[in-house]
Amino acid sequence: MEEHLLKNAPTPRRQRALRSALSAAFRPALLTTGLPFALALAACSTVELPPASPVAGAGGAGAAMAGALAPSATPPGTLPPVALDEADGRPRAGLAAAAPASAPDDADADDASEADPAPAADAPAPAVLPPYDPLQPDTHVNLDDAQARTDLWKRVVAGFAIPDLDGPAVKEWEQWYSSRPDYVARMTARGSRYLYHITEEVEKRHMPTELALLPFTESAFNPQAMSVAKASGMWQFISSTGKDYDLTQNIFRDDRRDVLQSTRAALDYLQKLHDMFGDWQLALAAYNCGEGNVARAIARNQKKGLPTDYESLSLPAETRGYVPKLQAVKNIVLHPDAYGLALPALGNHPYFLSVPIERDVDVDTAARLAKVPIDEFRMLNPQLNKPVILAAGTPQVLLPYDNADDFVRAVEGHKGPLATWTAWVATKTMRPADAARQVGMSEAELRDVNHIPARMLVKAGSTLLVPRSASHTEDVSEQLAENAAMALAPDLPPTRRVNMRVARGGETVASVARRWHVAAADVAQWNHVSPTGKFSAGATAVLFIPRGATLARATPTRASTKVAARAPAKGKTVAGNARSGTHVAVSKAAHPVKAAAKASTKVVAKGGGGAATKSAAKTKARVAER
């Protein structure tokens, strides 16, 4: 029932509202009544949430809720009228009462009004809602019962179902882990935060529990991990695959690092791969190198009449060691003493609870109100890219079990703004200094919080994080929270491209830079060479010089030089320096800027031997600005 309601919620914001409504004491009541989404969502907006324990049962307020939702005089198949907000479709004034079949007498009406006074119309909406376990929101968790005290490792081991591997690659990984006990200790300490949730999700899907160990091999259970291939999070999603599995990636958050969302996406992907290949070892191989590579390896073996199991396929080297690595971790979990390792005892209960967020709140403020160290807060909420949590884009925050309820109470008693940051959209392309003045903050702070490098412009339409002002106190909209982007462009003066042909004997990068009054590092970057390198004779050095700068001349030499006339290449003109023999071409080429140049050069050389006469050159250039 719950999954049906959530799948049919039309917007993410309404999904968050329904999750909140189905949480804590009211979820069992809603599930037993079988209400359609609109009625359930509307009804929940009329009931004041009680100060419940972190995970509430179905009694008390839940029973009252069930009574409130009992069948009324409303005709079957119809819903009471619900006033919805036009902007986001959420209930604006709660569930409107349907016309009763018979009006109650005055005494009953008076008693009802005294017993159940109507809430004030201008009462502010709560900033957060009661916490709950994301996977078992309607289950009361007792940390003192026998099941909660069971070692989680035993539960994981009991669900192992993938056939074992045994070979040199497995032995190598066993030796690698056993020789690094400190590394294993750090890895398991990080994993203790997430392993219960992942195991619950794996078992809920009837998948083998070896998959709950996969983050050990993927990221050492580090939700902030980033690979050289730009794969991110504990499950190591690259950007494109993350988008395929609905993992939002924008300037405010990266759901590839989100504990709940990335776990959901990873198990969805693994299930798809298993459905495709019918084998968990092949599914794991495809998770590492892609289903296309595995499918082609299978096709090659089929063509040759060879077996198509994991160990028989020709796969990339990393993938050949991928499943053995997981097997080594599995063996260590089964028998840690055999490898000289000790695994910490893990309780069979949630480490964290989910707290629905209804208002924007600063990360530092949330951590302080929850009494959680900021590093711990970020380990549970690693998807956040900015120092503010946007309610329109972040359904909930995760907090340690013992802190979640305290956080809700602290927010209720908090005086002052919860958020000091908001989003601002640039109306035109501008320098960061200009944007900073416009929003009332220093340029250094604007660059730091928005990760703007030096010598870059902020393009029109970019979203920046800026301090809230007295005139802008509203929370960030859902449209902006979900789709915000920032685009930058180089902030460089207008330049023209110059191609310089190096004279006999060659010339160093540093000497070329000195001649043209530019940095050696820039010359090296433009030409893909080392700043301490040298151009060989006849090579062409590419330079970008400011508009209006005159062509450089080399230091005069005593040797006489005759400059032979050359036919310029199409689109270029050649300027000759009679004393140095250096040729400079002003190009119409537009890399890295679009440029156009027209030039005419006259070179006068003295016939016969002797010193060269002064060269007379006139150059006309018209170069497009960058």
Active-site residue set: 218
Buried b (16+ CB within 10 A) or exposed e, 61-87: bbeebbebbeeeeeeeeeebebebeee
Distance CA 500, CA 545 (A): 12
Distance CA 398, CA 378 (A): 9
Instruction: Give the chain's length.
Output: 626
Determine how many CB atoms are found less than 10 A away from the CB of residue 34.
9
Using an 8 Å Cβ cutoff, are 95 and 80 in contact?
yes
* Burial group, residue 186, by CB count within 10 angstroms (0-12, 13-18, 19+): middle
Using an 8 Å Cβ cutoff, are 19 and 50 in contact?
no
Q: Do the bridges between strand 388-389 and strand 91-95 make them parallel or antiparallel, or are there none, so unpaired?
A: unpaired
For the four alpha carbons of 129, 133, 135 and 136, in that order, the dihedral sign comes to: negative
Distance CA 61, CA 41 (A): 17
Alpha helices in 230-279 (DSSP H): 239-244, 259-277
* Burial group, residue 305, by CB count within 10 angstroms (0-12, 13-18, 19+): exposed
Q: Do the bridges between strand 507-508 and strand 361-362 make them parallel or antiparallel, or are there none, so unpaired?
A: unpaired
Using an 8 Å Cβ cutoff, are 460 and 428 in contact?
yes
CA distances from 84 to 39, 118, 511, 569 (A): 12, 19, 72, 70
What DSSP letter does each residue of 173-222 carry, written as one string? HHHHHHT-HHHHHHHHHHHTTTHHHHHHHHHHTT--GGGGGHHHHHHTT-
- Encoded tokens for 52: 């419940």
Residue from 379, 327, 350 nearest 165 by CA: 327
Using an 8 Å Cβ cutoff, are 285 and 313 in contact?
yes
